[in-house]
Amino acid sequence: MQGGIVKEPVFVLDYDSVSPLGIGKKAILHSLKTNYCAGSTITRFDTEGLPISTAAEIKDDLSNLYENEHEGIKITASYDRKLELLVAVTNLLKPRINYLSKFSSSRKGTILGIGIDIFDFKNTNNPITNYIKYPLMENLSKIHTQYGKFNSLMNPIDFATLYLANTVKAGAFQKSILTACAASSQAVAFGADAIRKGKTDIVIAGGSDSLLNIVAYSAFNKLGALAPQTDKPHKMCTPLDIRRKGTLLGEGASLIILASQKGVEQSGIDPIFEIRGWGNTLDGYKISAPDPKGIGMKNAMHNALLDAQTRTSAVDYINLHGTGTYANDAVELDSVINVFGNSAKNLMVSSTKDRHGHQISAAGIQEIIVLCLAMEHSFVPCTVNCEKPIYENGIDIVLNENRSVDLKNCLTNSFAFGGVNTSILFTKV
């Protein structure tokens, strides 16, 4: 209760992911427990001529996860990697969410953080014309949905969210968020906000993205944001380390099922976590670098704690945004120390981007999945490749090996291009 207003609680019923760390929660948990880092030589496109040829790539064939989908979906997925990843994780989760049929469509919503569209140059001589005409115009127009309208003349970004809405029969809303590295975390926060405000009882939130194409990869290389090539690709990204030189690009898709108290009761499913609070800020300092004073980062974390009515001393662990870039990591750690004050020395923090890469629009939800697994199985994943941390004192950066510890209240940070900042506080039920 805050200011005399009773807040509707928001619970997590389930979650899953397709990730460079594995397909599904069990495989990802194993990778986390064994400190596997997915950085390896790119196979999705020809890297000849590029100075860097490493990423965190999903090597598994995902087609078996959507072999029963509409033919138009399968063809489109062969062109659009982020849709393929979303369809795969949706079908991975589908057998466990039959309880969603108990809810009217007007009480279910979908919201996703989605990456921008990239034309598939290798499949056509005239990429723009043919991409719009085929398969989107010829196949997607055949797919009927009563839960939203797909406009093939506009950017087809909304189709992924409409696909998900159609699959789970969600008619309350279907929203797409394009705020880069914070997109899928904002999807979770905005989905939770819709439940809190009584607009819906169930939200399927998450995100999907892949940077493993020549256009996106070249752009990040031009920005100077990528870790330089070495003969140990799994060691290239070194978040929170004084030697850090850049991030590791990745790909993935993850979903989380959010529910109101009424939704929990109607589903018959015991909740795993409660989303207690969140903070969203915009500092707009520079398109590709954070405000060096960390003003937006600090306010996002402060607002999440305030919204959750949680003391700094009650937070056990933060999964940091921790990109491994020179600009981000020091500012983020400084911001955490500033917000948490005397509590910071007992606060465990780490970044897991050296394991699964930076998935941009899917980064936040990937790290939420990692956080949920860590909380559910009582451990803190270490920053595998951090050997010489930025701070030796003042904050507990978990290094070298995972730490077995019961986690009750944990924060996750997502800080995006343009100064978009999101922090969310999860509590184990």
The pLDDT tens digits for 287-339 are 778 899 999 999 999 999 999 999 999 999 999 999 999 999 999 999 999 99
Q: What is residue 150's predicted lDDT score, i.e. its pLDDT?
A: 53
Q: Known catalytic residue: 30?
A: no
Give CA–CA dist 204/222, Å, rounded: 35
Taken in order 230, 231, 236, 242, the sign of the CA dihedral is negative
Predicted model pTM: 0.93
Averaged pLDDT score across all residues of the chain: 90
Buried b or exposed e, range 138-173, using 16+ CB within 10 angstroms: ebbeebebebbebeeeeebbbbbbbbbbbbbebbbb
Which one of the listed residues 234, 302, 356, 358 is annotated catalytic? 358
Catalytic residue, chosen from 181, 372, 382, 386, is: 181
Q: Output the pLDDT for position 145.
A: 58
**Is residue 374 within 8 Å of residue 29, measured between CB atoms?**
no
pLDDT of residue 30: 98
- Window from 38-52, 108-122, 139-153, 240-254 with minimum mean pLDDT: 139-153
Predicted pLDDT at 136 = 46
How many alpha carbons lie under 13 Å from residue 257 in its C-beta half-sphere?
24
**Annotated catalytic, 356?**
no
Q: How far is CA 17 from CA 126, 237, 295, in A?
A: 34, 22, 32
Mean pLDDT of 180-192: 97
Q: Which of 321, 372, 382, 410 is catalytic?
A: 321
Q: Which domains does the chain have, with CATH numbers?
A: 10-267 (3.40.47.10), 276-428 (3.40.47.10)
Q: 80 or 387: which carries more pLDDT confidence?
A: 387
Could you tell me whether strands 420-428 and 409-415 are parallel, antiparallel, or unpaired per DSSP bridges?
Answer: antiparallel
Question: Has residue 417 got a pLDDT over 50?
Answer: yes
Q: What gap in Å lies between CA 90 and CA 105, rounded to an integer?
A: 17
Least reliable range by pLDDT among 201-205, 218-222, 375-379: 218-222
DSSP labels, 58-102: --S--GGGSTTS-HHHHHHHHH-HHHHHHHHHHHHHGGG-GGGGG
Q: How far apart are CA 297 and CA 280, in angstroms?
A: 9
The residues facing 350 across adjacent strands are 319
Q: How many residues does the chain have?
A: 429
Respond yes or no: is residue 181 known to be catalytic: yes
**Helix, strand, coil content of the chain in percent (nearest 5):** 40, 25, 35
259 membership: H or E segment, kind and range: strand 251-259
Using the 8-state DSSP alphabet, how is residue 386 labeled? -
Q: What pLDDT is stored for residue 75 in this prediction? A: 82
